[in-house]
């Protein structure tokens, strides 16, 4: 059966690794045209090559820093040279910086998290909407987190920006009601990507401990959910998906096998 997504234009932020890279491959396998943005061009080119190999109709890359309004505007100007239409917007760029308590928190970490997870999502959505609204159909998917639903110590600002993402997704759905566009959030629990390495500032050993003795989600698990949500018939909106590893029943309830 031909994919409902075939030949659709899919824009992915943070497409150089993790969930974004997996989504590029899987939307590519569904026959989509890909518009991939991230800061790291070498990794972005590798992601585009993998997506083409998996069957993408085309895969285009351009540097994108969602923390910068000029960068977002330049990215969308470039998109307009390739297509007048975006069918799927995946707001994926973001991540956690540091795991300090509020008492020990660093301004630089807080600013980085607000800029990428929160303002980045707002900037990119504002800039891309004019490429979606005229067509009266399309899907916006935001990457949230279990952290937005269940706060934890050391996560305060990350939990906060993901709770805000949850609220913004709902506001946007209300604002776009009647336009034919649908808006959803896909919220993972523990997923083994570069997420923990970034949170712990490159401390790979500490990052690995996050997943010790349990089987975490992968970027591909989350990409499957994204492709599924985006490929529902146009009249169906998947408002929200919370997906967790089977070993994780809640933020604090993780089954870890000893001796692994």
Which sequence positions are flagged as catalytic? Answer: 158, 162
Residue 70 Cβ vs ligand 8X3, minimum distance, rounded to whole Å: 28
What gap in Å lies between CA 203 and CA 212, rounded to an integer?
15
Phi, psi angles (nearest 5°) of residue 32: -85, 160
Residue 208 Cβ vs ligand 8X3, minimum distance, rounded to whole Å: 14
**For ligand 8X3, which stretch binds (CB under 6 A), given 8-16, 97-105, 143-151, 213-221?**
143-151
**For ligand 8X3, which stretch binds (CB under 6 A), given 36-44, 141-149, 226-234, 235-243?**
141-149
Closest to ligand 8X3 by CB, 132 vs 161, is 161
Contact flag: residue 120 with ligand 8X3 (CB under 6 A): no
Contact flag: residue 190 with ligand 8X3 (CB under 6 A): yes
Contact flag: residue 17 with ligand 8X3 (CB under 6 A): no
Contact flag: residue 189 with ligand 8X3 (CB under 6 A): yes
Residue closest to ligand 8X3 when measured from CB atoms: 145
Among 145, 169, 192, 198, binds ligand 8X3 (CB under 6 A): 145
Distances 20 to 47, 78, 83, 129, 161 between C-alpha atoms, Å: 9, 19, 21, 20, 19
Contact flag: residue 14 with ligand 8X3 (CB under 6 A): no
**For ligand 8X3, which stretch binds (CB under 6 A), given 55-63, 72-80, 83-91, 188-196?**
188-196
Closest to ligand 8X3 by CB, 51 vs 229, is 229
| DSSP run (H or E) holding 43 | helix 41-53
Which among 240, 230, 227 has a CA at the least distance from the CA of 168? 240
What gap in Å lies between CA 220 and CA 26, rounded to an integer?
8
| DSSP run (H or E) holding 196 | helix 195-199
Residue 259, both tokens: 């001796």
Distances 235 to 9, 128, 138, 161, 238 between C-alpha atoms, Å: 19, 21, 10, 29, 10
Among 67, 147, 223, 225, binds ligand 8X3 (CB under 6 A): 147
Q: What angle separates helix 18-29 from helix 219-230, to the nearest 10 degrees?
A: 50
Which residues bind to ligand 8X3, rule: CB under 6 A? 145-147, 155, 189-190, 195, 251
């Amino acid at each position: 059966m031909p994919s409902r997504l075939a030949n659709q234009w899919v824009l992915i932020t943070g497409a150089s690794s993790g969930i974004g890279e997996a989504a590029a491959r899987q939307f590519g396998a569904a026959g989509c045209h890909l518009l991939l943005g991230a800061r790291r061009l070498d990794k972005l080119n590798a992601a585009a090559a993998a997506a083409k190999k998996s069957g993408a109709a085309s895969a285009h890359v351009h540097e994108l820093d969602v923390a910068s309004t000029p960068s977002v505007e330049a990215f969308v100007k470039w998109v307009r040279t390739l297509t007048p239409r975006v069918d799927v917007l995946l707001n994926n760029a973001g991540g956690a910086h540091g795991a300090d308590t509020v008492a020990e928190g660093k301004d630089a970490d807080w600013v980085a998290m607000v800029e990428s997870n929160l303002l980045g999502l707002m900037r990119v959505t504002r800039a891309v909407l004019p490429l979606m609204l005229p067509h009266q159909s399309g899907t916006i998917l935001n990457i949230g987190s279990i952290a937005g639903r269940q706060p934890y110590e050391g996560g305060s600002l990350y939990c906060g920006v993901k709770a805000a993402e949850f609220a913004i997704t709902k506001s946007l759905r209300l604002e776009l009601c009647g336009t034919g566009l649908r808006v959803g959030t896909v919220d993972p629990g523990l997923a083994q990507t570069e997420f923990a390495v970034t949170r712990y500032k490159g401390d790979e050993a500490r990052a690995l401990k996050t997943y010790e003795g349990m089987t975490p989600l992968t970027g591909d698990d989350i990409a499957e959910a994204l492709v599924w949500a985006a490929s529902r018939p146009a009249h169906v909106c998947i408002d929200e998906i919370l997906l967790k590893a089977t070993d994780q029943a809640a933020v604090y309830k993780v089954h870890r096998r000893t001796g692994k």
